[in-house]
Amino acid sequence: MKVNNVVTLDINSLSFDAMGIGKLDGKKIFVTNALPGEKIKAKIVQVKHDYAVGQVEEIIKRSPERNNGENDQWAKDGFDNLANLKYEYQLKFKHDRIMELLKQAGLADIKVKDTVPSPKQVGYRNQRLVYVRNYHGQLEFGFLKPYTHEFEPVDNFLTTDKQLSKVLMGIRDILREMKIPAYDPKTNTGFIRNVDVRRSNKTGEIMVILVTRQKDRPDLPRLYALLTEKMHDINGISMNYNPHQTEKIWGSSDIPLWGVDYLTEEINGLKFQISPQSYFQFNSLQAPVVRDIAIKEADIQPDDVVIDAYSGVGTIGLLAAKKAKEVREIETVVASVRDARRNAENNQIDNAKFFKGNADQVLARWNKQ
């Protein structure tokens, strides 16, 4: 089996990242946009010692669970591997995945309830990060295909909030108009590497982060003047400086350019400030549902010490602090820890402590004390 070979496969299951799995000559082949029960022709794009990766070339026999239509392209390109699956089966897939993880951990006796559906199935993401590249002589926004890392231009973002998608396209058009050069990863040249946009579901305010190869250029003031003139929902623009020839997106420093350097979101009466490199739940509509379930199922008592092992900017932990004696939050990202501390102070919560580090290491250290 070699790269570019086209093979016929029967797909019998899905991997943890929702790729179809077939077998040929005793070797597993993982295929984007393939579903169990389908017979396909796949082009091999990567070959390893014990597995291979392919892309669908032709679907000979379709699964009745397939979600046909425009969503198919997202699964085909590998940008959203579940987009080809009808929503009720997406929920089942996620449920079964948790069951399998618990089984592997020796916890198969734990009951897993049905997956709670999202209020919106498309257009729900409050954040979208894109790559910026020169494609056929024109600056484009898009993604890198899995495994091949080929750049694919995108102008229709299936899962992204519609207003945020419009802002992305507006930024792209302004960058084109100003002839600002896109980043070239082969030569480590050009200026703009990535664009990250985030929107608060509560306030509607939008934060723009420009990831750049250089710290400055003469037309930067004109750039953010045009952005704020044409898109009034933008309340902050920051630059993230990454000069290195690397696949890593983020550099170490964030430079405020205009407005505020954070986004404000609100859940259950608490306000959370989110800085450029901090994680926050992408599905703002689902976030309160998830937090409410977590707090309810935990059945927190007044004398309890609650550990939020992957705390981000502190949402679950700070909500739990209303009920608990003490909350300990663990997070690896420095910016998130800083935001969580600020959010506790802003919400007048004084029974939360914050620890930077890997959760397994911090918990092991506490267990020895």
If you write DSSP's letter for every residue of 320-360 in order, what string do you get? HTTTSSEEEEEES-HHHHHHHHHHHHHTT--SEEEEES-HH
Does the annotation flag 281 for ligand binding?
Answer: yes
State what percent of residues in the chain have pLDDT above 70: 97
The length of the chain in residues reads: 369
Range(s) of the chain covered by CATH 2.40.50.1070: 127-261
State the amino acid at position 126 in one-letter form: N
- Alpha carbon distance 170, 172 (integer Å): 5
Is 331 annotated in a binding site? The answer is yes
What pTM does this model have? 0.88
How confident is the model over 16-22, as a mean pLDDT?
A: 92
Ranges for all domains in the chain classified under CATH 3.40.50.150: 267-368
Q: What is the pLDDT of residues 207-229, one digit of tens each?
A: 999 999 999 999 999 999 999 99
Domain 127-261 has CATH 2.60.40.10: no
Q: Report whether 214 belongs to an annotated binding site.
A: no
> What would the pLDDT profile of 292-339 be if each residue is shown by its tens digit?
999 999 999 999 999 999 999 999 999 999 999 999 999 999 999 999
Instruction: Classify domain 6-89 at the CATH topology level.
Output: OB fold (Dihydrolipoamide Acetyltransferase, E2P) (2.40.50)
Query: Is 202 exposed, middle or buried (CB count within 10 Å of its CB: 0-12, 13-18, 19+)?
Result: middle
CA distance 59 to 41: 6
Torsion, CA 284, CA 312, CA 258, CA 250, rounded to 10: -110
Does the domain at residues 267-368 carry the CATH identifier 3.40.50.720? no
Residues spanned by CATH 2.40.50.140 within the chain?
A: 6-89
pLDDT at 278 over 70: yes
- Using CA atoms, how far apart are residues 256 and 239, in angstroms rounded to an integer? 6
User: Tens digit of pLDDT for each residue in 26-77?
Assistant: 899 999 889 999 999 999 999 999 999 999 999 999 999 998 766 666 666 6
